[in-house]
Chains A and B, each alone.
Chain A
């Protein structure tokens, strides 16, 4: 091994590369280049949740997006009888709570770690800061969120218009 390569190996952080690789595999960040991904890694906070630990509760004011790196998280909503109704179970590589990046409004569901789960948090003020300091990163994330919102709205509109036909 050349001395330059050995020096580079001594300096390079393998954990950081792993984190970057994981984030790059997500659709939300897939358009970012290496340097931008490095900046993004530094804007995220990581936390491990124990099984049964609540990430946030329905009605809490949302301020961050959560990315599931490992483990399993359940999204539930209170039903008419007050009992929790399971909406979705998240797998590693999926994200939730993304609407908090657009508006500070109450969460529409409760998120609970089903097993030991490692989550990355992207806080709204960090995204705002990136929009001015690294506009391309901020704009890329915002564009993905806009596409996601549009797809959901399109699906909801489709379901609504399909509903009377089904009833009839």
Chain B
């Protein structure tokens, strides 16, 4: 009988959690800035905690941090403004020329391939036409797709604004929660939050380090190679790296394409590709061992499934948050199993031969 009583709240908790998730899915567009702000505050929180542990007030720290970030941001902008503005203007001016050049290159390659393919010329031409047509359609649709991401840029001011309040409150929300829940569940609630914090914190902080490293190193590398629009390509590659493995792919495609167009030879594109492959290898060899040491290890299949599902349901943001969501799910399962194992006695107590030796 007691077991039935225990099972009932768990079942209703699942139903309520499911209903909440579905409700959140329906209003996902409105929730986006809040989710981004929560992630923003969560990533910055350790910095606040670092100073808080030295006895400083959270509210004053957050205020001082925002002021300092504002001044630093302005100084950085003032410092690199010329480069950024120049590159953005150049990019806007050169865009039509890039499009024409791409079409020319494609047409030239198409003629070469038509002769090279072991097919009747008419058939080869038709097959390549349809392939190139699809490719060009994708290229033409790219600006529209990029425009679709513009609402995210609109959150650029909203996210730090909402994040300010998340940072101000800090762990108060959780402290209120443990004050409200029945006392017997306090230990479980802390256990669950601890596991989620460990998994999520390491992952989010890890990808931010990787994104910053990719942006800086690729910017310097592209400048050394003399590739135009180095800042835009580096920034795009850095932002893309929020989606696992995408940073290097985007860097090779965009940077390589730019070098190919700019220098007119494939060797330029190969050098850019080597640069991004080098950055990827360095990331795997130097950064990942440090970042992944404490993070949740997901099976590659789960990793892939999470990315596909995230992208399918929530688009670009789904791709970014797919792995953190999988980390939370894994922590929930681990904690659930740990409770079940300890409650049912599956987890055995510590025991060893040394126990038999009398106390001396």
Q: Interface on A for B, CB 8 Å cutoff?
A: 10-13, 16-17, 20, 35, 38-39, 41-42, 45-49, 53-57, 60-64, 103-105, 121, 123, 125-126, 129, 132, 153-154, 157
Contacts and interface: CB of A to CB of B under 8 A. Distances in A.
B57 A123 contact: no
Interface in B192-213: 194-195, 198
A5 to B, nearest CB: 14
Nearest to B183: A53
A56 B349 contact: no
B179 A123 contact: no
A104 B186 contact: no
Contact of A123 (B49, B184, B190, B347): B190
A47 B186 contact: yes
Contacts of A54: 183-184
B195 A55 contact: no
B342 A13 contact: no
B349 A38 contact: no
B349 A41 contact: no
A163 to B, nearest CB: 15
B53 A104 contact: no
Interface in B36-80: 49, 52-58, 60-61, 64
B194 A126 contact: yes
B56 A12 contact: yes
Nearest to A113: B183
A11 B60 contact: yes
- Interface hub of B53, B184, B194 (most chain A Cβ within 10 A): B53
A45 B53 CA distance: 14
Q: B interface, by DSSP: helix, strand, loop or mixed?
A: helix
Contact of A16 (B55, B174, B339, B349): B55
Contacts of B56: 11-13
Given A11-B57, A42-B52, A56 B175 contact: no
Contacts of B297: none
A12 B56 CA distance: 4
Contacts of A10: 57, 60
Given A20-B55, A103-B350, A104-B342, A121 B187 contact: yes
A46 B175 contact: yes
B55 A17 contact: yes
A123 B184 CA distance: 14
Given A49-B183, A61-B342, A13 B191 contact: no
Interface in B315-352: 338-339, 342-343, 347, 349-350
B178 interface: yes
A125 B61 CA distance: 28
Given A11-B56, A13-B56, A48-B179, 20 more contacts: A10-B60, A11-B61, A11-B64, A12-B56, A35-B54, A38-B54, A42-B49, A42-B53, A46-B175, A47-B183, A49-B183, A56-B184, A56-B187, A60-B187, A63-B187, A63-B191, A103-B349, A104-B338, A123-B194, A125-B191
B359 interface: yes
A154 to B, nearest CB: 7
A10 B359 CA distance: 55
B359 A39 contact: no
B55 A55 contact: no
Ranked nearest first, the 4 interchain pairs of A and B with the lowest CB-CB distance are: A38-B53, A125-B194, A13-B57, A61-B342
